[in-house]
A and B are shown apart, each in its own frame.
Chain A
Amino acid sequence: MSTLDEAPAAWQEQQPSGAPAAKRNWRETIIETVIRLCGISAVVIITLIFLFLLKEGAPAFMQVPIRDLLGVRWYPIEDMFGLLPLLVGSLLVTIGAVVIAVPLGLTTAVYLGEFAPPWLREILKPVIEVLAGIPSIVLGFLGWVALAPLIQAAGAATGLTAFTGAIILAYMALPTIISITEDALYAVPKEYRDGALALGATQWQTIWRVVLPAARSGIVIAVMLGVGRAIGETMAVMLVTGNAANIPAFGLGAWFQPVRTMTATIAAEMGEVAQGSLHYSVLFAIGIVLFLITFAFNSLATRFIGGRSRRRGGQI
């Protein structure tokens, strides 16, 4: 108890004698204000961007009937603004990328974090982190030059397909997924592993039933960040997907036909439209749709994490 009584005296001694209280308060106020302004400005700017998007895109929703927007033909020159082919293109590429990147990324991370000998891990981890820094256009170039011919040789009509795009995007997402998942696995307390091992669980059972569930929120973040990088990607996808705004025939073969994504459409056509024209508004409308999809995706993921990670708070 005596330490409690002594504490205030000790604090007073530690105060720098040259700085009077008023001056320190003044400094605090400035720092607080600057931090507050930075925080607010971020929110304001994001709001402004969204409002701008709405303002430019809104005419499209008013002038083009919803039924036409949901049409299957994207011929802007003939005023046919069916967004469906672009939506399907984006979906095909993104789903393909997720299906490739998530299992590959998670297993790689588990191998690195749980099974690989330390020396191998020391080599692989930095290499993977460097991969994250490769500019996307370089990957796109690689896909165009190296991957597309392979896919064509494998029997597709052209090498520039949704699948090609999916592979390139998957490889863009992989370093992020691997690196963050590995960090999440590493953060799982050793006590959990010990507890499972001491019950007679094998190493794999311990990982599958204790470590992975405990690292779930981190893994979800890893996948979100990885996939988030892939969804918004434009140039690499534009290079390798063939850019045909048509809806491919239904089925697994859909991945082996050329598609065009929403992002690629905006990038390719924005330079050519007259500002203020209907085509221009529709491109912004695509931006709104992209925004909504990403927003929905993010909120779902945060909700998923929120419910789980709070329980850790009960830990001592």
Chain B
Amino acid sequence: MENKIEVRNFNFYYGDFQALIDLNLPIRANQITALIGPSGCGKSTFLRALNRMNDTISIARADGEVLLDGKNVYDPDIDVADLRHRVGMVFQRPNPFPQSIYNNVAFGPRVLGTAKKQDLDQIVEESLQGAALWDEVKDKLDKPALELNPGQQQRMCIARTIAVRPEVILMDEPCSALDPVATLHVEELMRRLAEKYTIVIVTHNMQQAARASDWTGFFWLGRLVEFNETTTLFTNPHQELTESYITGRQG
């Protein structure tokens, strides 16, 4: 199986505090990789390190390698905007821009100049269909995105992300602000998206990781304790810490 991303000897620091310690793991192409662990264990930091969203924090510092198709994304000659175009991100709280639905989804292609004007309508429609939202919003594309309910907003954010045709989609607890029905929508959507994209999802919800992912990594205090196929990790964990966490005795 092909590795889309390969993380090697990766450390991450906020000032003097080391948030991630010597991480090594593969992210398989066209699969869903879930990252679980208690709050503050570094899983979100790790996710944001993959597309260098942590660059916006001035005291943050990384060493080691994150190889995207074999090329280290922390190399000095990497264009960070281009990296984030290839490795998109969906955030914990739906964050639509205070603009219309159409303009939200068309934002990426417009900014990147990847689409001609006449193709925009089609891209917006395809992206919204890809995010399973088209039928609900096709008659109100010019309405403010903030009028959608949270579940719709989150799917719109996913549509906005796939509108730029990324290769990897990072999801940072995408369902934590959603109700169970909306959560189910997003999980089904992830499954469909994995046919085209490589997906990494951080989740608090172990059932979600067990249900929706192919691979699971368990983080504890900045270290990757265990990484394995999801079924193996949940049914037959090799580490005691993993077992006590997933059975609810620890964490």
Closest A-chain residue to B83, C-beta based? Answer: A200
Complex alpha-carbon distance, A193 and B83, angstroms: 16
Q: A194 to chain B: closest CB distance in Å?
A: 6
Contact residues, B78-117 vs A (CB, 8 A): 81-86, 88-89, 91, 93, 95-99, 107-108, 110-112
Residue pair B111, A312 in contact (C-beta under 8 Å): no
Chain B residues bordering chain A, tally (CB within 8 A): 33
Q: Does B193 contact A (CB under 8 A)?
A: no
Residue pair A205, B111 in contact (C-beta under 8 Å): yes
Residue pair B150, A200 in contact (C-beta under 8 Å): no
Closest A-chain residue to B150, C-beta based? Answer: A316
Closest B-chain residue to A308, C-beta based? Answer: B98
Against B, the Cβ 8 Å flags (1 = close, 0 = not) of A198-211 are 11111001000110
Q: A22 to chain B: closest CB distance in Å?
A: 47
Give every chain B residue within 8 A of A202 (Cβ-Cβ): 81
Q: Does B44 contact A (CB under 8 A)?
A: no
Residue pair A199, B99 in contact (C-beta under 8 Å): no
Secondary structure at the A interface, as helix, strand, loop or mixed, is helix
Residue pair B144, A314 in contact (C-beta under 8 Å): yes
Q: Does B164 contact A (CB under 8 A)?
A: yes
Give every chain A residue within 8 A of B146 (Cβ-Cβ): 311-312, 314-315
Q: Does A213 contact B (CB under 8 A)?
A: yes
Residue pair B107, A194 in contact (C-beta under 8 Å): no
Q: Does B160 contact A (CB under 8 A)?
A: yes
Closest B-chain residue to A197, C-beta based? Answer: B84
Q: Does A58 contact B (CB under 8 A)?
A: no
Q: Does B56 contact A (CB under 8 A)?
A: yes
Q: B67 to chain A: closest CB distance in Å?
A: 20
Chain A residues bordering chain B, tally (CB within 8 A): 24
Complex alpha-carbon distance, A193 and B91, angstroms: 12
Q: A200 to chain B: closest CB distance in Å?
A: 3
Known: A191-B91, A200-B112. A312 touches B97 (CB 8 A): no
Closest B-chain residue to A205, C-beta based? Answer: B111
Residue pair B98, A199 in contact (C-beta under 8 Å): no
Complex alpha-carbon distance, A297 and B93, angstroms: 39
Residue pair B108, A200 in contact (C-beta under 8 Å): yes
Q: When the two chains form the complex, which single residue of A189, A199, A214 contacts B107, counting CB atoms closer than 8 Å?
A: A199
Residue pair A201, B81 in contact (C-beta under 8 Å): yes
Q: Does A195 contact B (CB under 8 A)?
A: yes
Known: A197-B84, A205-B111. A191 touches B98 (CB 8 A): no
Known: A192-B97, A209-B111, A316-B150. A198 touches B161 (CB 8 A): yes
Residue pair B161, A199 in contact (C-beta under 8 Å): yes
Closest A-chain residue to B100, C-beta based? Answer: A311
Contact residues, A225-239 vs B (CB, 8 A): none
Residue pair A194, B95 in contact (C-beta under 8 Å): yes
Residue pair A199, B85 in contact (C-beta under 8 Å): yes
Residue pair B88, A198 in contact (C-beta under 8 Å): yes
Residue pair B97, A196 in contact (C-beta under 8 Å): yes
Residue pair B164, A199 in contact (C-beta under 8 Å): yes
Give every chain B residue within 8 A of A199 (Cβ-Cβ): 84-85, 88, 107-108, 111-112, 160-161, 164
Lowest 8 CB-CB distances: which A-B pairs, in order? Answer: A200-B85, A191-B95, A314-B146, A198-B89, A199-B108, A195-B95, A201-B111, A200-B84
Known: A194-B89, A201-B108. 18 other contacts (CB 8 A): A192-B95, A192-B97, A193-B56, A195-B157, A196-B111, A197-B56, A198-B53, A199-B88, A200-B81, A200-B164, A201-B107, A209-B111, A210-B97, A311-B144, A312-B146, A314-B144, A314-B146, A316-B150
| Between-chain CB contacts (< 8 Å), 20 pairs | A118-B58, A193-B56, A195-B97, A197-B56, A198-B53, A198-B84, A198-B89, A198-B91, A199-B84, A199-B88, A200-B85, A200-B86, A201-B107, A201-B108, A209-B107, A210-B107, A214-B97, A214-B98, A314-B146, A316-B177
